[in-house]
Amino acid sequence: MSVTFPQIVDLLVKSDLIKLTFFLLIGAIIVNGATDAANAIAGVVSTRTLKPSHAIILASLFNFLGVVVMSLVNHRVVDTIMNMVDFSGNNHFALIALCAGMIAVVIWATVAWMFGIPTSESHALIAGVTGAAVALQNGFKGINGGVWIRVISGLFVSTALGFILGYLLLKIMHFIFRRIKRKWAVRILKNLEIAGSSFMAFMHGAQDGQKFIGILMIAIMLGMGVDTSVGAEVPLLIMLLCSVLMAIGTGIGGKKIIKAVGMEMVKTNDIQAVASDFASATSLLISSTFGLPVSTTHTKTTALLGAGIATNRRGVKWSKAAEIIYAWVLTFPGCGLLGFFMAKLFLSVAGG
């Protein structure tokens, strides 16, 4: 199904629910850019390769490019998000439930940002929207089991792959650089850090941008009275809007998250920063190719852990790593229940 930008504008003019959904998505995308900016630039900032302001500009640019380029080349992540849950039935109530789920996501992500916890907004998005769909359908029939299992499997596989690649790349780089003079090694690594951060920022935009585009397209199709399972072509202007919003969020920055990931969990050096950036970005690229909406936060953090262990296990602050893992574990049930109860509350007020 083809959706044009004028049709979307017409929906915004006519429907207050669509306006609210757009407003919530704008907030969620900006918060995502602010919190997950650290995934791309934690290493390059903590090693002082780039100043925070310069790193944020770099991440903003490549986040923007990632959303647009990947959406034009491969939008399978959008398709997965759209088919993950069932918002069929009364479209008015479905939009109310979707709004409630997005409110849950924004609340969860904002609280995590305030406390400097690098929780996964991908997990929050999946959990919050799933909880809302379950509330709407009064049971687990609101979940497309096959697609949801693929999503969960992808989240675990991507984190494991990030860890393994981070460990292996660090070992390979130690082998390559062992005979290179320190002066030249440092210069090469600094350039690789910038390239790795750019690659990571690009893949963050590609992954997380498509997740929000998927939710946005669900809202648009519900507003048009169309079954979301039929799928739809994403208008270019929607891609551009999402990429601009994410770049704005990235510009706001995430200094607390940078500190938690790049300075407190592992005291990152140049070679660890390069290995973790390329490992996590490669894992995200593989996941995107297969249409798996995975966590950029998880992937980068486990890649950094792998690189840290490959260097020196004692250099990893396991208490900080455990704190981050606890936040991850709590996100699915916590944000899922929040989305469920918010949807039930909104639906009861609306008479659904």
Any idea what the Cα angle at residue 194 is, between residues 73 and 209, rounded to 5°?
Answer: 35
Q: Tell me the C-alpha distance between 248 and 255, whole Å.
A: 15
Closest by Cα among 298, 247, 295 to 34: 247
Mean predicted confidence (pLDDT) in 115-137: 83
> How many other C-beta atoms can be found within 10 angstroms of the C-beta atom of residue 176?
12
Q: What is the pLDDT of residue 317?
A: 65
Backbone angle region of 49, left / alpha / beta, with phi > 0 → left and psi within -120 to 50 → alpha:
alpha
| pLDDT over 90 (residue 106) | no
| pLDDT over 80 (residue 157) | yes
| 32 compared with 138, residue with greater pLDDT | 138
Of the pLDDT bands very low, low, confident and very high (cuts 50, 70, 90), residue 265 is: very low
Q: What is the pLDDT of residue 23?
A: 87
242-263 tens-digit pLDDT: 888 888 887 776 555 555 554 5
178-194 tens-digit pLDDT: 888 888 888 899 899 99
Of the pLDDT bands very low, low, confident and very high (cuts 50, 70, 90), residue 129 is: very high
Q: What is the pLDDT of residue 302?
A: 84
Q: What percent of the chain has pLDDT over 70?
A: 86
For the CA atoms of 55, 58, 62, 64, the dihedral, rounded to the nearest 10 degrees, stands at 100
Mean predicted confidence (pLDDT) in 157-184: 89
Q: Point out the least confidently predicted range of 54-58, 73-77, 101-105, 117-121.
A: 117-121
Closest by Cα among 166, 213, 202, 217 to 296: 202
Backbone angle region of 266, left / alpha / beta, with phi > 0 → left and psi within -120 to 50 → alpha:
beta
Report CA-CA distances (Å) from 48 to 138, 256, 263: 52, 16, 11
Q: List residues bridging with 316 in a β-sheet.
A: 266
Q: In 3-state terms, what secondary structure has residue 106?
A: helix
CA within 13 Å, CB half, 69? 15
| pLDDT over 80 (residue 241) | yes
Closest by Cα among 147, 104, 139, 140 to 124: 104
| pLDDT over 80 (residue 295) | yes
Of the pLDDT bands very low, low, confident and very high (cuts 50, 70, 90), residue 153 is: confident
Radius of gyration of the chain (CA): 20
Mean pLDDT, the chain, integer: 82
Averaging pLDDT over each range in 114-118, 254-258, 275-279, which range is the top one? 275-279
Token pair recorded at residue 130: 């799933």
Q: What's the one-letter identity of residue 235?
A: P
Match 């390559």 to its residue by tokens: 176
The answer to whether 1 and 230 have CB atoms below 8 angstroms apart is yes
207-234 tens-digit pLDDT: 988 888 888 888 888 888 877 666 667 7
Q: What is the pLDDT of residue 339?
A: 94
Of the pLDDT bands very low, low, confident and very high (cuts 50, 70, 90), residue 239 is: confident
| 82 compared with 351, residue with greater pLDDT | 82
b/e string for 8-25 if b means 16 or more Cβ within 10 A? beebeeebebbebbbebb
Report CA-CA distances (Å) from 248 to 45, 195, 282: 19, 21, 25
| pLDDT over 70 (residue 195) | yes
Q: List residues bridging with 233 in a β-sheet.
A: 2
Q: What is the pLDDT of residue 39?
A: 66
Q: What is the pLDDT of residue 174?
A: 87
Q: Where are the alpha helices (DSSP H) in the chain?
A: 5-14, 16-46, 52-73, 76-84, 91-114, 121-137, 145-177, 182-223, 236-252, 255-258, 270-289, 296-311, 318-350
The answer to whether 193 and 44 have CB atoms below 8 angstroms apart is yes
| 263 compared with 83, residue with greater pLDDT | 83
> How many other C-beta atoms can be found within 10 angstroms of the C-beta atom of residue 182?
8
